[in-house]
A and B are shown apart, each in its own frame.
Chain A
């Protein structure tokens, strides 16, 4: 595919864009691009196109491209007031549609929205490294080696930071028991 793009076939690049838009939009949203997500992703695709000459034949496009999206998001977010984007990101987490629309029970939906906002704000409290590793690995559902490539870290580092980030995240989250099980901690 990359070879076809380099040979000047625009349809080949269109195909790459088509295949990666969804994930790129999710990444931009998760990393705080807010309303700028579409522009950020468009810019990332254009930058990737320009940088394709440097792309190493045979390596994976997805992690390489995701690191461009992350950079682009960071550049955009940096210009906006950090506080505002954080608030925006939390709002994005809270407003996003519940994954399983449990239409019958608004209470379930409310709990889910609350939980998601809590997760979002807990994520914001992590250090940049921890937030990135959690975002790539889980929010973007990339595997460990893709995450390592995207972040430019060795795999062992991904593993240990991920562990630590999860533990921190767990500590940051309020106790949450979805209503069943009334036992409390002392």
Chain B
């Protein structure tokens, strides 16, 4: 009980609750039905009466005309929009993140809290440096303050510094830092929600990656990552010196990997992660993948 892991008990309970939810919702639906039957007969009367009094013509089937066909195409496009977007996003170098599409992409991948903005005029300053994390707390303290268990990639090992920062709307940001050959590697984590915590202004499109190696299933929300290979402008929240007001800060960020880690368990929050300070894409992906490896969450794994 030294570490406050949810352990098997909490996970089992969450799963049990997940399986119960559909049944509860069905019961909720049935509870809405009017108690007395016979409602349908009076509805029949009302409907037929209206049809008669308004002298509505008997509906006749008509073959689809050209207008109808156009509508059908439009409907098809609307229906397939997301899968279309998925197929095209490799090609959509510029289009992918123009505003309307961006909204769809954000929603689709659920990259909670990060907005990616295509802005050719956003010129990053040279010599981006990854800021360190500041004063450290222990992982257990961070978990208590942030309300979720910080994810530690086993590829990097125990972090040198762990900090927790308060953000607007009650969100907390956990940052882990490692020193490596004089450079800083920084991993920002927070529960995924849609209010924007970070905004990235990019001049070049990020690259879509699939973390489980199978790029055919881009729809899977939790194995997709965005790789920003070049320095870009990053704006984010900071508390001002008085400790009360939040201000938007902007700095240049180097190569960054952005992805989400879903627990797959109802009830446990998805976490959005931002890894900065690793210049090699392959290494960044390797680090991201190592989050799911045993070493820090064996309690959860053993029950599967």
Contact = CB atoms under 8 A, between A and B. Distances in A.
Interface of A: 5-8, 10, 13-14, 17-18, 21-22, 25-26, 29-30, 38, 41-42, 45-46, 49-55, 57, 92-93, 96-99, 115-116, 119-120, 134-135, 138-141, 152-154, 156-157, 160, 164, 166-167, 169-171, 176, 183, 185-186
Contacts of B89: none
Interface string B35-65: 1000111011011101100101011111000
Interface stretch (B20-28, B131-139, B203-211, B289-297): B20-28
B282 interface: no
B6 interface: yes
A29 B21 contact: no
Given A99-B31, A119-B25, A139-B25, A22 B40 contact: yes
Nearest to A183: B9
Given A17-B43, A138-B25, 10 more contacts: A25-B32, A52-B59, A55-B61, A116-B31, A119-B24, A154-B82, A157-B83, A170-B21, A171-B266, A176-B17
B29 A26 contact: yes
Contact of A41 (B29, B41, B43, B110): B43
A134 B54 CA distance: 36
B47 A25 contact: no
27 contacts: A10-B51, A14-B44, A18-B41, A21-B40, A25-B33, A53-B59, A53-B62, A55-B59, A55-B61, A97-B31, A115-B24, A116-B28, A116-B31, A134-B25, A138-B29, A139-B25, A152-B78, A154-B83, A156-B83, A167-B18, A169-B21, A170-B14, A170-B17, A170-B18, A170-B266, A185-B10, A186-B6
A164 B219 CA distance: 12
A99 B29 CA distance: 10
A57 B30 CA distance: 30
B61 A53 contact: yes
Nearest to B269: A171
Contact of B48 (A13, A115, A169, A183): A13
Interface of chain B, main secondary structure: helix
Contacts of A169: 21
A42 B46 contact: yes
Contacts of B301: none
B91 interface: no
Contacts of B241: none
Nearest to A45: B47
Contacts of B40: 17-18, 21-22
Contacts of A185: 6, 10
Contacts of A176: 17
Contacts of B18: 166-167, 170
B221 A160 contact: yes
Contacts of A96: 31-32
B34 interface: yes
A25 B10 CA distance: 38
B203 to A, nearest CB: 31
Contacts of B269: 171
Contacts of B21: 166, 169-170
